[in-house]
Amino acid sequence: MKEIKLKIVTPEKVLYEGMVESVSFPTTDGEITVLPHHIPIISAVKAGELKLKVSGKEEFFHVTRGVLEVDGQMITLLTDAAERSAEIDEKRAEEAHERAKQIMAEKRTDVESYAEATAQLERALSRLKIVRRRRGGRASFNQEL
């Protein structure tokens, strides 16, 4: 079985470091899957679901914006924040979603605050989508963005 080393780094810690069979991650241009011996790339990563395949099993993470570098031998993801899907608190994510919607409604004329609220809403929706998909529930609120 062919593998490639993956390292997920946040400002606080190295969240993951190990050998993987593949990694799928969200970019501004769509989802990309990286396999061993992938050509070198550097890509912007957007908030969403990161999927790893390790020993034939899938593992899921929520990631925020960041940068991914592939050099053919190793994948390095530098991201503002990341968490394993099993660690996502659905209630907290739902509360963040509601707060972001409220801020957006209040800050329509303040461009900077509105942009930050939009980013918060996107992160909350991504986290909710991941946790609900992993537990088998529906995640049909993508249209709210």
In whole angstroms, how large is the CA radius of gyration of the chain? 16
Amino acid 13: pLDDT: 92
Q: Are residues 97 and 73 in the same domain?
A: no
Amino acid 64: pLDDT: 86
> In Å, what is the CA distance from 145 to each residue of 63, 97, 107, 140?
18, 11, 16, 12
Amino acid 79: pLDDT: 92
Number of domains in the chain: 2
> In Å, what is the CA distance from 88 to each residue of 74, 112, 132?
27, 27, 10
Domain that holds residue 70: 4-85
Tell the residue number behind the tokens 């946790």, with chain if given: 131
Q: What is the pTM of this model?
A: 0.67
pLDDT, averaged per 10 consecutive residues of the chain (145 residues), comes to 92 94 92 94 91 92 91 92 72 69 66 69 68 56 36
Amino acid 88: pLDDT: 60
Q: What CATH number is given to the structural domain containing 57?
A: 2.60.15.10
Amino acid 140: pLDDT: 39
Tell the residue number behind the tokens 């918060």, with chain if given: 120
Q: Are residues 59 and 99 in the same domain?
A: no
Cα–Cα distance for residue pair 88/105, rounded to 1 Å: 26
